[in-house]
Amino acid sequence: MAREYKTSKEISGPLLLVEKVEGIKYEELVEIELGNGDIRRGQVLEVDRDRALIQIFEGSSGLNLPQAKIRFQGKSIEISLSSDMLGRVFDGQGRPIDDGGEIVPEEKRDINGTPINPYSRTYPSEFIQTGFSCIDGLNTLVRGQKLPIFSGSGLPHAQMAAQIARQAKVVGKGEDFAVVFAAMGITYEEAEYFISDFKRTGAIERAVLFINLADDPAIERIAIPRMALTTAEYLAFEKDLHVLVIMTDLTNYCEALREISAARKEVPGRRGYPGYLYTDLAGIYERAGRIKGKSGSITQIPILTMPEDDKTHPVPDLTGYITEGQIILSRALLKKGIYPPVDVQASLSRLKDKGIGEGRTREDHADLFNQLFAMYAQGLEARELAVILGEGALSEKDKIYLSFSDDFERYYISQGDDENRTIQYTLDLGWKLLKKFSKSDLKRIKDDLINKYYDSEAVEKLETHLKKFTQAL
Amino acid sequence: MTEKRVEGTITKVAGPLVVAGGMAQVNMFDVVKVGDLGLIGEVIEIHSDHAYIQVYEETGGIGPGEKVVSTGAPLSVELGPGLMSTIYDGIQRPLKKISEISGNFISRGIEVSGIDKEKKWAFEPSVEKGAKVFPGTIVGMVQENETIEHYIMVPPNAPEGELTSIKKGKFTVEETIAVIKAADGKEFEIKLMQKWPVRRGRPFKKKNPPTRQLVTGQRVIDAFFPIAKGGTACVPGPFGSGKTVIQHQLAKWADAQLIVYVGCGERGNEMTDVLNELPELVDPSTGRSLMEKTILIANTSNMPVAAREASIFTGITIAEYFRDMGYDVALMADSTSRWAEALREMSGRLEEMPGEEGYPAYLGTRIAGFYERSGDVTCLSQDDRHGTLSVIGAVSPPGGDLSDPVVQATLRVVKVFWGLESALAYRRHFPAISWINSYSLYYDNIQEEVEAKVDPRWSEMRMVALRLLQEESELIEIVRLVGVESLSQGDRLTLEISRLIREDFLHQNAFSDIDTYTSFEKMFKMLDTILFMWEESTTGIKNGMKVDELSEIQSIERIARMKYIPENKLEDIDKIKDSISKEIKELLTAVEE
């Protein structure tokens, strides 16, 4: 039921105003045929009587008012879904861009989705092993959580994300994750890194990739996370898969949103971002979760780069208010040669408490976490003191704390980019590092746990392994 | 009531704002059904015959030419038996019912009534035929669940008059249970259910100064920055500072008889958490499940933004209804910033002149209007019963910056400020309420009640503890510059005792079964023990004892474990005093030798 009009009146940036139209619906999809036969796509942003304001996805260059033919499609943006999407690469409009040919859709869905009824949610509580000690041990990720990585330019977030995509699994059950990867405004090189890493490790077999490069139209950037999440919802709640959605880089997404908001001449909020940025981001992040009676789940790891490493910039700030914690990367740690450079103190997983402990990870996890955290904090304080007064001025106890915090960063936080640690290893490693202290110093751990693990065989064995590691350094 | 149904046609759609023509007869704030899907909206502006409508659902697929029908009534809530333990969306649609109709995802145009119209409730009259009744008079009661006696009142808009009939028995909420004959001969039927528009506060006879403390079981709040029943408080803080945990803790443990919890533009999983936890938890005052005294309003961040704007009004109207019965009601709104953002978004769509940070200029008035609906009131009717409504709002300022317009507008009206600090959260000190910046203006009101209830020394103890913490913050500045060595023994003792107050008294573990709630008695004993330690060691230091020696003694360890002593073993706290006296005496003997 396409209705065609040649009544374009105004073009401004990616916006096109069409007059004398009839029966147009808000958010309707539009096809624009240029004088040379090119087809562009757009969406209705506003309808006012017989005037429709259209946002053109591929931009307005080459468009001319009298020649443009506008065809309204009578439906909103949809994506074709199929389980054959696994292993494939798509562009910002959901079209395959690899050599695999077209997808035969099993179903078509509106990419905006509808909100999950809070009553139908199940609280996330199943531990996901990422193979990173700093995440598994200290900022535990659980199925159905949204845990962003706050990074900065030049920090190895891409490497980390690829590693998580490779390694993520649920302990004991051995069920793998399907990965939905959405790239927004990243460079060709970065995109290539992900694609080739996924291919190299075979992870591509269970991944769906959506790619919008830095020179692709900004407006497609708005649609891409929604396509990825609609795909994820389909795989999770129709095909019962556990889906891990990795989105990078949300800062680019927000800038695209700002660009369009400015083109629409909306009243700007903080730093020129539109006032509805929070609501818009929530519409993306809140699509993570688990649903009663469904075995699949959606876990999100959005990645964003903080301009000037500033956590109070609107993008990380609003993200932090919506997501269930954050992993913050630190430039200082990276400079010390620590990968992943996770700032443990500033990072947080809000859903950690229900995902750890007996039956999920191990009984000693919570206490051990608290103890490591407390000791590391003490160590950092001692380090600060040493900077001001010199190491000589430290008390014997402070010196132990200091050396603990060094080891903690070097052995616990730091690991190889192909090193996939089990949660047992991570926990035992924590105990091993705590051996610097006497049993009575471990005030945050219950006595029976100290007796069980402090001298346990696994921890002893680890010691020899660590020694080798130290010598290698 | 004369309902006029106005019908018009959509001319413009822009996000949640829809404009319809042919609506000259419509009233401001009337609810309308928009488009073929029948989306629910509210008229927020009228320009000649064009009505500007904010729509509570997503407007994709709606276009000019479609119909708009007015319902002839403003956005109202249904008040009657069946409210308790329910989880609603922002416009009082039960989420459970929605899930039965549309499955796990919320689709559009769903119409469900706020309370069950089929269910029959046993009504027990408390007045007899022939009695003279007034608006607000309680005519009987429905036992809604084991905890809540749901009183049936003459609605505020009813005339005063004589009851010509009143029936005992089982009724649905729409059946007539009593009839009033007014002086002018007109008859008015009373039903179990009444309706009230959400944007108008329910009337009462008069407001009274709040004099009773709302006990929350959270030590830093109850001891230092208390809130009164009928008072207002706000909790601003950056993300990760624990606003939601504090709101949850208050919802769980505050000694209000009824809780309304509004999750306004926050996380879906948090509401799930409340839904899972409350039924499991036992109310310390009634011994029954906490869910029985709770009503939840959940309009999560991804649900439509206009309904988010309505959600806190829906919540507070329900809360007022129970206040009118004479209950102590507490309302938690998490977070009012999200509500203000919804306001800003609608204002932007209306192309209003923006004020600070793009918020509309009337932001302050709206916020004040909301908080002013709290209070300790003498209810309508002749029995002079008191009801209280306490309001606690979380605020989420960008970057934790307190100069944010929402925070500032809120601080102008609320009497209690619990300032959350990221530095405390960073050190994992929870609740991260700053003891330096926070304040409560209610202590003078409630002092008398608290001293009578707990101990006449309480006010003084509180002052001493606060003073020590204040001194500590000044001393820390000095230590940073010149090191701890340069402080006198007395000052170092202040540091040591303040540490005990911070770590062993103010720090409270919401996730520990025992520490999550502290009774007033236990709180008094804990602080008393720490201050006893201070007095004893001050004497000790005068006689030559050193502060370093103090940190080695056993009693310090026992003070640290005080918070984990269960409520039924409080005598164990008393014993710590003996051990303090004994150990300090030993230290002094050592000094003498």
Tokens representing residue B244 in the block:
């939601």
Burial class of residue A215 in the structure, from the number of CB atoms within 10 Å of its CB (0-12 exposed, 13-18 middle, 19+ buried): exposed
Judged on CB neighbours under 10 Å (0-12, 13-18, 19+), B149 is middle
Q: Does B105 touch chain A (CB under 8 A)?
A: yes
Q: Give which of B292, B130, B358, B265 is closest to A261, Cα–Cα.
A: B358
Residues of B in contact with A3 (CB under 8 A): none
Beta carbons within 10 angstroms of residue B181's beta carbon: 15
The residues that bridge with A243 in the sheet, in sequence order, are A178, A298
Region B458-592: CATH code: 1.10.1140.10
SS3 A262: helix
Q: Where in chain B is the domain with CATH 2.40.30.20?
A: 7-74
Q: Specify whether the CB–CB gap between A156 and A162 falls below 8 A.
A: no
| 3-class secondary-structure state, position A404 | helix
DSSP-derived secondary structure for B544-591: T--HHHHTTSHHHHHHHTGGGS-GGGTHHHHHHHHHHHHHHHHHHHHH
What is the per-residue pLDDT across A173-222, written as a single tens digit (0 to 9) for each?
A: 656 679 999 999 999 999 999 999 999 988 888 999 999 999 888 778 88
Residue B1 has pLDDT above 50, yes or no: no
CATH class of B121-192: mainly beta
Query: Considering only CA atoms, which of A241, A257, A247 is closest in space to residue A227?
Result: A247
Distance CA(A268)–CA(B73), nearest Å, equals 35
Asked whether residue A142 carries a pLDDT value surpassing 70, the answer given is yes
User: Which part of chain B has CATH 1.10.1140.10?
Assistant: 458-592
pLDDT for A270 beyond 50: yes
> For chains A and B, what is the number of CB pairs under 8 angstroms?
188
pLDDT of the residue at A464: 62
What is the ipTM metric for this complex? 0.86
Q: Which of A112, A291, A353 sits opposite B60 (nearest CB)?
A: A112
Asked whether the beta carbons of residue B95 and residue A324 sit closer than 8 angstroms, the reply is no
pLDDT tens figures, A34-67: 888 888 888 898 899 899 999 888 778 888 888 8
Return the number of other C-beta atoms located less than 10 Å from residue B255's C-beta. Answer: 17
Of A114, A145, A286, the CB nearest to B300: A286
Write down the residue that tokens 């009634």 correspond to: B286
Model confidence pLDDT, tens digit, residues A359-384: 889 999 999 998 999 899 889 988 98
Q: Which CATH architecture has domain A78-354?
A: 3-Layer(aba) Sandwich (3.40)
């960008």: which residue's tokens? B398
Q: Where are the domains of chain A?
A: 3-72, 78-354, 365-472
Alpha carbons B300 and B463: distance in angstroms, whole number: 41
| Whole-number pLDDT of residue B3 | 52
For residue B155, which of B182, B184, B105, B193 has the smallest C-alpha distance? B193
**Structure tokens, A329:** 């990367």
Q: What is the CATH number of domain A3-72?
A: 2.40.30.20
Residue A220 dihedral angles phi and psi, to the nearest 5°: -65, -25
Outline which parts of chain B fall under CATH 2.40.50.100. Answer: 121-192
Does the distance separating the beta carbons of A279 and B267 come in below 8 Å?
no
pLDDT band, residue A397 (cuts 50/70/90) = confident
pLDDT at A174: 58
Report percent pLDDT > 70 for chain B. Answer: 99
User: What CA–CA distance (Å, rounded) separates A354 from B511?
Assistant: 10
Among A257, A256, A303, smallest CA distance to A153 is for A303
Helix (H) or strand (E) holding B7: strand B7-14
Q: Tokens standing for B525?
A: 């004993």
Q: What is the rounded distance in angstroms from the CA atom of residue A310 to the CA atom of residue A391?
A: 31
Share of chain A above pLDDT 70, in %: 96
pLDDT computed for residue B2 by the predictor: 46
Choosing among B12, B301, B430, which should be mutated to test the A contact, i.e. which has the most A CBs within 10 A? B301
Find chain A residues with C-beta within 8 A of B273's C-beta: 123
* Alpha carbons within 13 A on the beta-carbon side of A384: 8
- Assign domain B206-444 to its CATH architecture: 3-Layer(aba) Sandwich (3.40)
Q: Is A112 on the interface with B (CB under 8 A)?
A: yes
* CATH fold of the domain at B7-74: Elongation Factor Tu (Ef-tu); domain 3 (2.40.30)
The model's confidence at residue B137, banded by pLDDT at 50, 70 and 90, is very high
Inform me whether the C-beta atom of residue B268 falls under 8 Å from chain A C-beta atoms.
Answer: yes
- Cβ distance B64 to A24 less than 8 Å, yes or no, reads yes
**Rounded Cα–Cα distance for residues A464 and A462 (Å):** 5
